[in-house]
Structure 1
């Protein structure tokens, strides 16, 4: 599975899905980034310093969801208790969770769940043909691609 999980086709599909998750959460779910946690942390800091607590929570939950996704992905990787390859389990979990998101009425929870999925994805799929690759972000890929 590791060779397949580093394929150009899968990397491209995951990168597109990462962009779509960011576009969805930003445009339709209250201007929160599902993937671009740097943007969320920036807004979080601005609202924290200005004492706008409702907005702090608006950005804090997706950051926490992203972090939890990384943590769960790493636990699944280390557990080795899977009947199929752990990366396939992550992909199935991502698909299932993303199917639920449109039915969640509260943006806070929908964004947190989407960010959770993004955290799992960025932790699980970290290479493309042996090179570092982040399927949910662009800046590191631009740097790595330029260097390579």
Structure 2
């Protein structure tokens, strides 16, 4: 969107999903076999990762986390193509905030907050239907 009603610019083709961070757009290919980062002009994208089940973006870290396609484990993008770090187990969904990542458990019975290192998460809430994160 170019900021004016009915004014759009083509930046790329179809994908299984897209996620928007503060400085770019990330895309998951239709077959979920690769993650791409928009280069910022035209329709140029750079492959930054392999298969993923889902992608979530925001301002924390390098702005992107992705689930594994099979087990749903969570990895954080480290800013360099094909450089990812395992940060947690599967969840029903995730939300990337400015300072951390939030996780809704697989059964949706609790919300957890990533502490920022290793595999440690802290419970911050009970059952929820869905979660989102952003500045308020």
Normalising by the smaller structure, the TM-score range is: under 0.3
* TM-score for both structures, normalised by structure 2: 0.26
Larger helix percent = 1
Return the structure number with greater relative CO, CA threshold 8 A, min gap 6.
1
